[in-house]
Amino acid sequence: MAGSVNKVILVGNLGRDPEVRFSQAGQKIVNMSVATSETWKDKNSGERKEKTEWHRVVVFDERLADVCERYLKKGSKVYLEGTLQTRKWTGNDGVEKYTTEVVLPRFNGVMTMLDGGGSGGGSGGGGGYGGGGGGGYSGPEDDGSSWDGPGGGSSGGGSGGGGGSDLDDEIPF
């Protein structure tokens, strides 16, 4: 088997409102903080325990960034698919610093709002958004802060947000 896989799937809640910024080339970039929690019952005490992990998420896909900005807010529940990336930089104090982030790159990131989003989020239980379908378009060059992934314009898999009227009600086996 050749190659490797770098894929992250998160289902969690935003810990704060999304932060929107722009690259030097004018590309919209969204930073989010997403919490995931696991619960279990302590064998000795029978007490319910919970552990929360916080994840830095960076969205480079323009359409997903627009959705984040318009519909997500603190507490929103989301499903995310991206890649894990570690950045290194030198701080103002001259010390090298590192951070690891879940990155939703252009054309390859997936996001689904699981709680219907914020005000004006439409009807139903959420919407699915994929960064796919670019047809090979890689967009203008930016300051190098984003990554298009191998092949640049590969189509990503998005999840449909509405009901599938073309689906049969019968099980296919």
> What is the predicted pLDDT for the residue at 56?
98
Domain membership flag for residue 117: yes
- The parent domain of residue 122 ranges over 8-39+48-130
Domain membership flag for residue 137: no
> What is the predicted pLDDT for the residue at 43?
92
Amino acid at 64: L
Domain membership flag for residue 24: yes
Give percent of the chain with pLDDT exceeding 70.
66
Domain membership flag for residue 16: yes
Q: For residues 115 and 77, which has the higher predicted lDDT (pLDDT)? A: 77
Domain membership flag for residue 165: no
**Is the per-residue pLDDT at 146 higher than 70?**
no
Mean residue pLDDT of the chain comes to 77
Q: For residues 107 and 33, which has the higher predicted lDDT (pLDDT)? A: 33
Q: How many structural domains comprise the chain?
A: 1
> What is the predicted pLDDT for the residue at 122?
33
Check if the beta carbon of residue 60 is closer than 8 Å to that of residue 147.
yes
As a whole number, mean pLDDT of residues 78-102 equals 96
Domain membership flag for residue 166: no
By 3-state DSSP, what share of the chain in percent is helix, strand and coil, each rounded to 5? Answer: 5, 40, 55
Domain holding 19: CATH number? 2.40.50.140
Domain membership flag for residue 73: yes
> What is the predicted pLDDT for the residue at 1?
62
pLDDT digits (tens, 9 = 90+) for 118-137: 443 333 334 455 544 333 32
DSSP 95-156: -EEEEEEEEE-TTT-EEEESS--STT--SSS--EEE----TT---S--SS-----TTSSPPP
Scan for tokens 């599938």, then name that residue: 164
Residue 48's pLDDT band, with cuts at 50, 70 and 90, is very high
> What is the predicted pLDDT for the residue at 165?
45
Say how far apart CA 29 and CA 26 lie, in whole Å: 9
Domain membership flag for residue 99: yes
As a whole number, mean pLDDT of residues 86-109 equals 94
Residue 74 is encoded by which pair of tokens?
């603190």
Residue 108's pLDDT band, with cuts at 50, 70 and 90, is confident
